[in-house]
Amino acid sequence: PTTAANWSVVTPGPVYGTQTNDTAVAGYVGEVDEQTWASGSATATYTVVATHVLTPGVWLIEASNTANINAGSLFESHLLIGTASGNNTTGTVQGQTHMITSFVATVTSNFGSLYVSRYVSISATTTYYTKYYMDSNGGGGFSNEGISRAIRIR
């Protein structure tokens, strides 16, 4: 039989975060970096719409975008998360950290088009870029709005 002399008490360290409905302070579980964007034109280039400078830890980075088509034909839209800045897709994987949709709009429409997320564990401060690409072959108004957030999970 086990006696009390064979037992030891382990006291776990605290998990700092927040006990309210706000964001935890920098460096703690629950820290959030959130950015929104809005653009009024279609550009056939990968444009950085959000930049997250993340300190060591485990992060979930996510982004979503809505393309609004006033008239004309929008035929391709991309949303991606990567570590390379500029007009490129370096370091992304299509279907995982790089999402694409293609469609044709002939009337006024509002499309909830894309969502992408990326789980990262980093040992040094690293910058992640959310990029958006929209190409259209029609004549008409376009706009897109989105949000990108990085959430410290460990």
> Is a pLDDT exceeding 70 seen at residue 73?
no
Query: Whole-number mean pLDDT of the chain?
Result: 79
Q: Output the pLDDT for position 124.
A: 96
The pTM of this model reads 0.78
> What is the per-residue pLDDT for 13?
62
Most confident of 15-24, 44-53, 100-109, 119-128: 119-128
What residues contact residue 36 under an 8 Å CB cut-off, 6+ apart? 145, 146, 147, 148
Per-residue pLDDT at 60: 95
**Over residues 36-41, mean pLDDT:** 76
pLDDT of residue 89 exceeding 80, the answer is: yes
Q: Which of 12-16, 59-63, 92-96, 124-128 has the lowest mean pLDDT?
A: 12-16
Give me the residue label for tokens 């499309």.
Answer: 111
Handedness of CA 87, 92, 64, 66 (dihedral sign): positive
pLDDT band at 154 (very low <50, low <70, confident <90, very high): confident
Q: Which of 81, 86, 15, 14 is nearest to 54 (CA)?
A: 81
